[in-house]
Amino acid sequence: MGLVAIVVMLIATLLTKIFSNQGNDRKSGSDDTNFCSSTECLRCSHKYHEATTAEVLSKKLEEFVRIKADNTGLERLYKGIEYYRTQNGKNDPLSASQKPTVFYLHGLVCEPWHDYYSEQLRSLISLVNFELIKSEFNQIRFNTSDGWFKNSTAEGEWLVYHLFNQGEKVVNNCGACPRTVEIIESVEAFISGCSFGNALFSVVQAGTHITAHYGPTNCRVRCHLPLFVPEGCRLCVNGEERRWKERELLLFDDSFLHEAWHRGMDGERVVLMLDLWHPELTMLEREALAFMFPPSLYMAEKCQSR
């Protein structure tokens, strides 16, 4: 009986630990638990963490300075990397509601929702361009399965069609949407040549909940141009819900916790998504970040995007 009692106690202890850990996981439900399985995803893949340590980033920045022969205007990047180093690789923001998974740059204004680029993005929502983008989307949505990737959650699924994937231009896909690409590339703040930059069509099916997650950096602003929005679609950033409305831009900092729903009964929620540089970054800082986070490090065809 003594041996049985010991075994029972060990099992009870083990079960207690398991359920305790599960409870802790549930308590941290406000944190990012939404990771894709792609080994090439900048946000989700652990293998790229080695390429973004403080030591590696510091060396890349020094190399950039040698090329430029001047380090003037890069103080924020130096401070950001130094803070990263002193925090033992945890480059956490001061705000508990922000947790970028790859790189946080201190000194930038932290706002969940943005409207700074409203004027610059006027071309995106001009009626002519809007109809062109919708027309090209309809062509690829209903006439081809090539270039599309499906993501699934416990509640539903969504499709993505990359035009630019982590800084890389997806040539075949861009060839199918030439006017859309031309419009995107006309946006001065669009992030190109850097792994933080994406442009894609995102199609969310009815009944889908894309659970709460954080983006890779606060150095960018994510832009949604809604093309088709059925009833029941919402985007929540930092606890504030907003509705997509066709031809009305939504701009937000995706380093804040965010999630999305399509609670409607039918129809697809479709947005053109593109990443823009944070408006406070100087041209030199943008260039340095592109050098530190080049697309070749994170080239991916199957990255989960939202």
Q: Which range has the worst mean pLDDT, 16-30, 54-68, 136-150?
A: 16-30
Model confidence at 236, in pLDDT bands (50, 70, 90)? Answer: very high
pLDDT single digits (tens) 198-215: 999 999 999 999 999 999
- Percentage above 70 pLDDT, the chain: 77
Q: What is the pLDDT of residues 269-283, one digit of tens each?
A: 999 999 999 999 999
Of 41 and 67, more confident? 67
pLDDT tens column, 90-114: 666 666 788 998 899 989 998 999 9
The closest alpha carbon to 188, from 283, 94, 58, belongs to 283
pLDDT of residue 41: 63
Q: Which residues contact 131 (CB under 8 A, 6 or more apart)?
A: none
Does residue 29 surpass a pLDDT of 60?
no
Mean local confidence (pLDDT), 127-148 = 96
Phi, psi of 300 (to 5 degrees): -150, 145
Higher pLDDT, 45 or 101: 101
pLDDT score, position 94: 62
pLDDT given for residue 221 in this prediction:
98
pLDDT of residue 30: 45
Confidence (pLDDT) at 96: 73
In the chain, pLDDT over 90 holds for what percent of residues? 63
pLDDT at 299: 45
Which of 39-48, 126-135, 175-184, 227-236 shows the lowest per-residue confidence on average (mean pLDDT)? 39-48
Q: Give yes or no for residue 4 having a pLDDT over 70.
A: no
* Mean pLDDT (whole number) for 118-126: 89
Residue whose structure tokens are 């889908």: 208
